[in-house]
Chains A and B, each alone.
Chain A
Amino acid sequence: MSRWFCLILISILAPLHSQGGEALTLYTSRNTELIEPVIQAYEKAFGVKIKHINGAAGSLIQKLIREGKNTPADILITVDAGHLVHAADQNLLQKVSSKILEQSVPSALRDSQSRWFAVSLRARTIFYNADKVEPKELKSYSDLADPKWKGRLCLRTSRKVYNQSLVASLLGRMNEKDLSRTLSGWVDNLARPVFTSDTHLLEAIANGKCEVGIANTYYLARLQRDGQAKNVKVFWPSKENGGVHVNISGVGLVKESKNKEQAQKFMEWLVSEEAQKIFANANDEYPVVHGVPPVPVLKSWGPFVSDPTPLTEIGKNQKRAILLIDKARYR
C-alpha cells in the first residue's frame, strides 16, 4: 500500500524537479494537438528535447510573473496578439535580434521592439448563409449593427479574447461613441443569445437559425472538410470598409530564459517553410511567411485585405474594448 502511494507521489512530484533537465521549455496557450506536431518535427530535426506546458494565456502570463527569475520557461506562444503585447508590457519578453525573423515576418505582424513575432495568421471575418443573404448586402463589421440585420445576426460571447481583440481593432478607427453604438446595435440584432463557440455559431448559420455572424476562418475550414456547412460563405470586408480583422498565433522569447540561443533557433525555425506548413496547416491558419501557400480550402476563399491597425495598438486597446463591451451589455 505504502509502496503504491510512494510511486504515485513520485510520479506527480517528479515534474516539479525536472525543470532544469529539458533543453527548451515552452509555455503555450495553443492546444496540445496543434503544438505537438511542431515540437515533434523540431525534436526530430535537431535532437533537442522540448517540454511544453499548456494553459490559458492569462494563467501562463501570471505564471511567468510569479516565477520571475526562476522561471523554467524559454518561449511563450499565445493565440492572440493582446496577450503577447501584455506580456511584453509586463517586461516578461526580451528583444530578439534576428535577421531571419525580421525578413520573414512582415512588420505589421511583429512587435516594433522585436519582442514577439507572428507565426500564423487567423482571420476573424463575416460569414453568411448563402441561401438567405446576398453578399452585396454585407459591408463591414460595424454595418452588422444596422437594423436591417435585426434577428439575423449571431455572435460568440465577448468573454472570448478573439472578440475582445476584434473590438479593440475597431477602436483603432472608430471613436468610443460610435463603437458603443455599434456594439449596442450588434446586441439588438442578435437572433439568438451569444454562442460559446465559433463552431456552434457557424452550424447555426448553416441551419438557418441565423443568417450572418463573425468567426475565425479555421472553424469553417474544419467543418467544410467534414462535409458540413457547405452553404456558409466567407465575406471579406474591403479596404474601404476597414479590411479584415486578423489576429495571430505568436511567439516571444522569455526574458529570464536560460537557453536564449536555443530558444532563438527554435523561433527562427518556426518561420521556415517546413515549420510554417506544419504550424499553420495543423489549424487551417494562414502562414505568415510570404510564398508559403495556405491549405487549399483557405486558398479557395480568395485573398483579403487586412485591417491596417497594428497588432500592438490592438493589444493596448484591449482593456478599453472590454469596458465598452461591458457597457453595451454584450455578454
Chain B
Amino acid sequence: MRRSYLSLLSLVYLAILLAPVLFLFLDAGEPVQLDSTLVSEAILNTGLVSVFVVALCTFFGVSFAYWQVFYQTPGQNFLHIMTLMPLAFPAYVLAFVYIGNLGASSDWGIYHWFEIQGQTWFLVFILTLALLPYIYFFSYLGLQWVRQSEWETEKLLQSGLGSFFRYAVWPHIGFFVVSGQVLVLFEALSDFGAASVINTPVMTTLIYKAWFDLFSFAGAVRLALWFSVLIFIVLFVELYMKSYRSGPQGSNLDPIQRQKLEGVKGLAVLSLRCLYILLAFTFPLLQVLLWAFQIHDTESLKATLWAGLHTFILSVCVAVTVIAVSLLLAFLFKKFKQLSSFGMIFSSVGYGIPGTILAVSFYGILRTLFTEVSVTLLVGTLILSLSYKFLSIGLKPIGEAVIQLPQNLDEMSLLFAVSWWQKMRVYWGPYLRESVIISLFLISLEVMKEMPLTLMLAPSEYPTLSIQIYNLTSEGEWEKASVPSLILVFVGMISVFLVKISQKEGPHES
C-alpha cells in the first residue's frame, strides 16, 4: 500500500479517536459562575489525590508483591488472591461503606478525633485501598523475572535492600510498575463516585455540578476543556513512554526460591497484609452483606432488579460493540503492519479520559448534530461513548491473538474458497475464542461499574446499578445502596478469579 494512503488512514484513525476531545477545543464553552476558591481547591485536590494515591499504591503494592514472591508466609496463595479481591469493589462502594460507618451519622464518634467527610486525605485513603491491587498485580508479574542467582549475589555482597532493588529488581519490574502506576493515575484522575460520596471537590465533581446543579452545559464544557488539557499532557507523556517501554522477553530459567519469613518481621508482614485485606475487602463485604439483609422493601428490590437488567443489557451491547470494532481494527492492523503499533498505542486514549469529560464531549457532539435528542439516540450515544472508553480492553487481547494467527489459515481458506463468515467461524474462531470471551467479560464488568458517563448520559427511563447507587448514597440510604453494590461486587469477584485463572503464572512456568 502506498505510503500516502497509510498516512491518510492513520490520520483518519487518529481523528476518530481524538474527536471527542477536539470537540471541546472547538466549542470551548463559556465560564461558569463558580466560586474561585472552590475551583482552585478542586484543581489542588485532583493533583494531590493523584500524586498521593500513586505514591501510596506503589509503596504498598510493590512491598506486598515483593513479600509474596520472595518469602513464604502462612496461607501464601490465599493472601495473593485476597490482595487482588479489592478490585471487585468500585471505589464509590468502599467510600459509602466507610462514610456510613464513620461519618456524621455513625455511632462510633470517630469524628471527635478526625473528620473524614469532605477530606482530601480520606479520598486518598479510599482510592489507595481500591487501586492498590493494580500495582500489586503488575509488580507481582514483574518480580517473576528476577533471578535467584541475582538475589544470591546481592546477599553475598551485602549491599543492602535498596541497592538490591535498584540493580537487581528494578530492571525487571520497572516496566510493570510504571504500567500499573499509569493505570492507577488515570483511575485516580477520573474518580467521580468516591469523591461524590465523600463530598470532596475535585475536577470531575465540579463538571457535574456545573451541568446538573447550575444547569450550565457551556460551563461544564469549559471546565472539561481545562481538565482535558491536564489529562492530555499526562496521556501523551504516557503514550510517548509506552512507545519506548517494553516488557522483558524470553523466559526466566532461574526463578526465585521463596524463603521462610519468621519471627517479628514475619509477623509484621503478615499483619500488615491482613490489615489491608480487612480494610479493603473483608470489612466492606461484611458491611454490605449486613446492610443488604436488612432490606425487605420489595419496591426497592424491584427497582434494583430493573436497574440490574438495564445494566446487563447495556454492558452486553457495549461489549459486543467493542469486540466487533476490535476484531475489525485487529485485522486491519494485521493487513497493514505499519499501522499496528501506532494503532494499538492510540487505542488506549479513551481509557485515559475521565468519564465526566467524555460525557460532556459526546453530548456536545450529539447536540451539535441533532436539534432534538430522542431516547434511542441518547442510548446509542451512551453505548458509543462507553465503547470508546473501553476499546483498549478489547483491542489489546484480540489484537495480540489476531497477530498470532497462523499464516497458513489464510491460505487454506483461499484454497477452499470459503466465505468471510465461515473463515471467521471455522478457521479463526478457535484461536480467538479465549481472548474474545475474556474481553467480553472484562468490558461488561467495567461498564457495570462505570459511574459518571452512565450517570450523565443514560436516559432517566433506564437507571443502571451505578446510577441507583449514586442516587441512594446521595440521600444517605446506605442499606438500600448495598443491594445493587452487592451485585457489582459479586460480578467483580468472578472477574478477579477469571483474571487469576487466565494469568500466565510467570515466565519460568511458561
| Chain A residues proximal to chain B, CB less than 8 Å | 8-9, 12, 15-16, 19, 27, 32-33, 53-56, 58-63, 66-70, 86, 90, 154, 157, 159-160, 192-197, 199-200, 203-204, 319, 322-323, 326-327, 329, 331
Say yes or no: A331-B117 contact (C-beta < 8 A), given A192-B104, A322-B213.
yes
Tell yes or no: B118 within 8 A of A by CB.
yes
The B206-254 residues at the A interface (CB cut-off 8 A) are 211-215
Q: Are A195 and B105 in contact (CB under 8 A)?
A: yes
- Tell me the complex Cα distance, A53–B461, Å: 6
The SS class assigned to the B binding surface is: loop
A–B pairs, 9, beta carbons within 8 Å? A9-B313, A12-B309, A55-B463, A67-B372, A67-B373, A196-B105, A326-B34, A326-B37, A329-B37
Say yes or no: A70-B374 contact (C-beta < 8 A), given A63-B460, A196-B473, A327-B35.
yes
Chain A residues, Cβ within 8 Å of B37? 326-327, 329
- Tell me the complex Cα distance, A154–B104, Å: 9
- Tell me the complex Cα distance, A188–B328, Å: 60
Chain A residues, Cβ within 8 Å of B213? 58, 159, 322
Say yes or no: A322-B299 contact (C-beta < 8 A), given A67-B373, A70-B372.
no
- Tell me the complex Cα distance, A118–B33, Å: 29
Chain B residues, Cβ within 8 Å of A67? 372-375
Stretch from B258-266, B437-445, B474-482 forming part of the interface with A = B474-482
Nearest chain B CB to A226 CB, angstrom units: 14
Chain B residues, Cβ within 8 Å of A60? 460
Q: Are A56 and B212 in contact (CB under 8 A)?
A: yes
| Chain B residues proximal to chain A, CB less than 8 Å | 33-35, 37-38, 99, 103-105, 111, 115-118, 199, 211-215, 299, 303, 309-310, 313, 367, 371-376, 378-379, 459-461, 463, 471, 473-477
Nearest chain A CB to B30 CB, angstrom units: 14
- Tell me the complex Cα distance, A69–B373, Å: 10
Say yes or no: A323-B372 contact (C-beta < 8 A), given A159-B474, A197-B476.
no
B477 to A, closest residue via Cβ: A197
Say yes or no: A326-B38 contact (C-beta < 8 A), given A12-B313, A192-B111.
yes
- Tell me the complex Cα distance, A319–B209, Å: 11
Q: A68-B372, A194-B117, A196-B474 are in contact. List 9 more A-B contacts (CB 8 A).
A: A16-B379, A32-B299, A58-B213, A66-B367, A194-B199, A196-B99, A196-B473, A200-B104, A203-B105
- Tell me the complex Cα distance, A9–B316, Å: 11
Q: Are B460 and A16 in contact (CB under 8 A)?
A: no
- Tell me the complex Cα distance, A192–B310, Å: 38
Q: Which of these, B103, B117, B118, B373, contacts A66 with CB under 8 Å? A: B373
- Tell me the complex Cα distance, A63–B458, Å: 10
- Tell me the complex Cα distance, A12–B463, Å: 12
Chain B residues, Cβ within 8 Å of A54? 460
Nearest chain A CB to B460 CB, angstrom units: 3
Q: Are B459 and A200 in contact (CB under 8 A)?
A: no
Q: Are A66 and B212 in contact (CB under 8 A)?
A: no
Say yes or no: A69-B214 contact (C-beta < 8 A), given A8-B313, A12-B309.
no
Say yes or no: A61-B476 contact (C-beta < 8 A), given A193-B118, A195-B104, A326-B38.
no
- Tell me the complex Cα distance, A194–B476, Å: 11
Nearest chain B CB to A322 CB, angstrom units: 7
- Tell me the complex Cα distance, A8–B306, Å: 12
